[in-house]
Structure 1
């Protein structure tokens, strides 16, 4: 069932509106703009019904905030108002509202407008889903990752659970392409993506192609120690595919992995921790490739102990 959020400081008005649509939708109520913004960040709504006149932060200001956030900017917003004049309607539409509902409510009109915009949102999401899958590998693409990662980061901060960012890079991939050709390189990328996905397949895991021969994954709920173990198994699984490489650089195709586990603080920046994960990946490659370098919750590095690249100990 599609979820709809009503943001209205009047519980009576919100309850009346909820009663009109709750037979067809899962309806939540927020009585302050701040609570509405938080819930819009943390939950997956198909439509927001937003009252214009509210204390502290009015509906126009909240609408502007919603439009500025990547996570919420595509969720349709219908403004609720008794201010039935052209100036306010124009202002709301310019800020990004998709429609208006005026008080007092006329149930048939409310249902018709809500149903129309939920259907449009559902259709748009189906189209976006197709455009957010990497065609070569079948995993999520960079665009989908950019949106999903921020959503889950905020969720982890709210729940105060560990959040891990993992970066993968296929070792000496340019040499592989130069040796075996780009069609063979595409098969390697697809095989590595399949191997990573087969290990990170819990509902709290997410894998995407970051670009070229790089992949990124996020995971919620596991400690740095557990994630370090998972990633070592993935690194070994890729090596165990025994895909021949150019013998001048490596016997088999391998991957280097870097990442970080953190319990996010509210308001902390996700991009900073992505950079830490990228730094760990750089250290793994600089240290000889085909290894995992991880930063734990205290940002202390964990190194995979290896005798030489390609050989586990």
Structure 2
């Protein structure tokens, strides 16, 4: 069920195409040809193209080769060297058939060439084929980063995205918070109710956590077993503490019976929170380790509670 819902959610209705050409007439021709099927964005030079690519994350770039300052080859090389833009599909548009240039373009990471003057049928077909292939590739990759049981991200997704969130906060001089969560006495729950009911419990808890951590750039991931982790970029200690307490309260509100718990008759969760304003010389794993220590304290101090620390106060 969760896979089907996820597939429906991630498949784009319309693709995004970035047209890059220093000649306005060429942009107008391609815009008129593709506007009915795609969301079109435009750039007049290579520098603008790189900036826009980072901001809008297009599915495909139609990139002119011959441009002043930065050629299409220069733009392609820079985009493919940046982790934020390396997956974008690049199709070169050129007015000349030059086998050496095509070889170079493919070596730099382009997927196809379109030749001027533009043939509408060939151009639309090639773009449609590449967009379909990209959608399939994106979908497979996203499914690979999904926890199939709970519908939230898996640990691999956390390990991929957390460093990016950390670097963003370092550069933007914004705080970042990590929440570690563990369902209380879950082994007892499984022993008493069975693993099938345990799976249902995990799904319900994951949905409750996701309902409280739901900004587009936040992350909820299953960290392992009955443990979850949340990454909250651009979130200070007070804001993260509020969210964490909401999560703990939302699990109680589910009122999932748990006869094996020493806390109460329902499923509960313990939480450890750590927040910091990160800097270049800090190890990003320190924040995770600190949140994990706070989770351990929450368990030691009676469970069904939040233990939290603002690392800025101790650094």
Pairwise TM-score range, normalised by the shorter structure: 0.7 to 0.9
Alignment-derived partner of residue 258 in structure 1: 273
What's the TM-score once normalised by structure 1's chain length?
0.72
- Return 79-88 or 177-186, whichever deviates more: 177-186
Unaligned runs of 5+ residues in structure 2 are: 1-13
Contact residue 41 and residue 154 of structure 1 kept, 8 A: no
Report the CA distance shift for 1:283/1:153 in structure 2 as closer, same or farther (over 3 A). Answer: closer
Give the Å deviation of 1:225: 1.8
Alignment-derived partner of residue 22 in structure 1: 35
Following the alignment from structure 2 to structure 1, what is the Cα–Cα distance between the partners of residues 49 and 123?
20
Following the alignment from structure 2 to structure 1, what is the Cα–Cα distance between the partners of residues 202 and 75?
43
Unaligned runs of 5+ residues in structure 1 are: 302-313
Contact residue 40 and residue 72 of structure 1 kept, 8 A: yes
The equivalences for 1:1-313 within 5 A come to 1-145=14-158, 164-170=176-182, 176=188, 186-202=199-215, 205-219=218-232, 223-238=236-251, 241=255, 243-244=258-259, 247=262, 253-260=268-275, 273=284, 275-289=285-299, 290=303, 291-295=306-310, 299-300=312-313
1:77 alignment partner, SS class: strand
Give the Å deviation of 1:89: 1.0
Following the alignment from structure 1 to structure 2, what is the Cα–Cα distance between the partners of residues 148 and 15?
37
Following the alignment from structure 1 to structure 2, what is the Cα–Cα distance between the partners of residues 39 and 245?
55
Give the Å deviation of 1:284: 0.3
More helix by share: 2
Report the CA distance shift for 1:148/1:287 in structure 2 as closer, same or farther (over 3 A). Answer: closer
Contact residue 248 and residue 268 of structure 2 kept, 8 A: no
- Return 238-247 or 127-136, whichever deviates more: 238-247
Contact residue 42 and residue 151 of structure 1 kept, 8 A: no
1:170 alignment partner, SS class: strand
Report the CA distance shift for 1:117/1:234 in structure 2 as closer, same or farther (over 3 A). Answer: same
What's the TM-score once normalised by structure 2's chain length?
0.72
Report the CA distance shift for 1:244/1:276 in structure 2 as closer, same or farther (over 3 A). Answer: farther
- Return 61-70 or 42-51, whichever deviates more: 61-70
Following the alignment from structure 1 to structure 2, what is the Cα–Cα distance between the partners of residues 276 and 7?
42
Aligned length: 291
